[in-house]
Structure 1
């Protein structure tokens, strides 16, 4: 067993960083290569690289080495239950279901190796390691706050014909916006810093629209249909339905752009911090449609930003104005429509002053 794809970005960074990418077996100290995928691992082996193995201290299998029924299952793939070994010494530690290597012996093996690594590592390198551990913890926190696990469901609510969010989703997005505004990102990771700032700019624009135009209805925040609340008045009806249609299109455009921004973060983290980041979960998908009309899933991505580029500020008013022009005023009863997937949202939302 090489790389365990169920291990989080935080646990992998702790395991490999504190082991200095070397086997924990005494006197082995073999430098280990990260096993990206099986075909790549075969190529690395052919060229003499030793593939690192993320070994369980306590097995996840009842008949496995050092299985402990009292150990919480949710902790099996965490740093505390993993040790980095070369294939040879992984096999030795696990031989005969770990009979010669009980749990405390493997934990001591790991601790001794990590102490030796710390003693041999310069203060500067230790500071870099500590910084990267903090950075991956912030990224894991972003995943939770941004609700990546339920991204499809959240985007389907915003992409509704009548855009809406659950109260907890709306509260979570506003909390995320404040959290991102507080962040101070470290130097040395330009793609990650760019991607998070780009995500923040898009989210800020969306939150401005939600805060300005959505209203609470029970446990739902929704874009109100004011045109449904008036008596017969043709000119006022046209004004209100046009305003609703323009804002609904802007919500859809910003939801698409936020999905692109989230995927830009995923690509940046994989490029600068952990090549296996979200290799199992993958990118987040945008969900459009419903069970009646059919559900459509899309993977939307930004191109890699040019070096030294600066994230753009998104102007909600500029985006609303451009959308209204493209919709010829916004009345959905007229012909104009927008191919939302073809829109360069950043261009439409570029500040005009």
Structure 2
């Protein structure tokens, strides 16, 4: 096209030259410098127009983007916080910025239960939330309850066999099927959960009579009671001060969360009983889900899959790094070589919470083989 334009310009120049010389043809080269100059100017103008159009399009895309608020009770530097950031990156990249994930971390939007109450109440404040799988227990999550039973998962590999199996989708779909109006996007984990206390502990006998913080969850209440301790319900956002003032003698969390929330400052004794693997689930409200096109819904699902794989790749390494740092800082870390007494003490809470789902629970256990 450029060659054709240049040829036309040259021909026009020759015609003008011939007219000026009375029709006489000349062999002198005409002044052709005007053609490239015009072409360069046109190219610059086109580039400027394209840049302006691109900027306008990007600005319009930003204005038209769907913003989904994502609640996270822990800081961004935890395993779950990093997983949320990965999900955000994947969604925004795959949607070319047409979907924005606004992460509100460190519990600024409330506890997991407060966030879930808001999502189910249709307040519109939170669209997506990262929750502990057992948080759904209080909202009719009978299947989710099985994931929080003590000593169910014998290893991380065991959990990921579940999370990557067809069985996991059945669990993720439970909230929407039982009318809870939540849709499960993906699973992850934040490491095994362990107890920590204000006073030194050396074994299970040291828990008798202690006030151990629990969330509003029957499984955790049963677990703590089975150990001979007193289950004390305290909001997670109030746990630090509860430990500091003696309202609680101890609590339990994954290692990364224990450190990130500075619980080691007020309860510097960590006993590695590994009673539960901290299974996490990311859920979206049906109201938010239904505002998305099918293509956008698929983007969230694919981004969730990528975030889950990322979670799997970092969890153990990050947990080990934190544990090493805790040991180095002087935290009294107690290893539990024999978990048999702990398992015996929690048999009743397992039996009480698998009623009617014995076969399903056995399927989870069988994945360890």
Same fold (TM over 0.5): no
TM superposition score normalised by structure 1: 0.27
